[in-house]
Amino acid sequence: MTEQINAFKMAQAQFDNVANMLNLDPQAAEILRWPTREFRFQIPVKMDDGSIRVFFGYRVQHSDARGPSKGGIRFHSSETLDTVRALAMWMTWKTAVADIPLGGGKGGVAVDSASLSINEQERLCRGWIQQIYRNIGPRQDVPAPDVGTNPRMMGWMMDEYSKLVGQFTPGVITGKPIGGGGSLGRTEATGFGVVYAIREALKHLNMDPKNAVAAIQGFGNVAQYAAIGLNTIGGRVACVSYWDRDDQKPYTVSRKDGIDPVFLQSITDVYGTIDKDKARDSGYVIEDEQAWITKEADILIPSALEGQVNAETVQKISGKVKVVAEGANGPTTPEADEFFKAHGIFNIPDFLCNAGGVTVSYFESVQNDMNFYWSREEVLSKLDDKMTKAFHDVLEMSQRENVYMRDAAYMVAIEKVVKAMELRGWL
CATH of the domain at 275: 3.40.50.720
Backbone phi and psi for residue 302, each to the nearest 5 degrees, phi listed first? -70, 115
Of residues 70, 106, 322, 386, which has the active-site annotation?
Answer: 106
pTM of the model: 0.92
- Single residue among 123, 157, 183 that ends a domain in this structure: 183
The reply to whether 46 belongs to the active site is: no
Instruction: Assess if residue 90 is contained within a domain.
Output: yes
pLDDT of residue 330: 87
Q: Do 212 and 269 have their domain in common?
A: yes
Instruction: Assess if residue 361 is contained within a domain.
Output: no
Instruction: Assess if residue 406 is contained within a domain.
Output: no
What average pLDDT does range 358-369 have in this prediction?
A: 97
Q: How confident is residue 2, by pLDDT bands cut at 50, 70 and 90?
A: very low
Number of domains in the chain: 2
Instruction: Assess if residue 271 is contained within a domain.
Output: yes
Query: What CATH code is carried by the domain that includes residue 79?
Result: 3.40.50.10860
pLDDT of residue 1: 37
Residue-range definition of the domain harbouring residue 49: 35-183
5 has a pLDDT exceeding 90: no
303 has a pLDDT exceeding 90: yes
Spatial CA neighbour of 307 closest among 330, 338, 325: 330
Q: How confident is residue 314, by pLDDT bands cut at 50, 70 and 90?
A: very high
**Distance spanning both ends of the chain, measured CA to CA:** 40
Percent of the chain surpassing pLDDT 90 = 92
Amino acid at 245: R
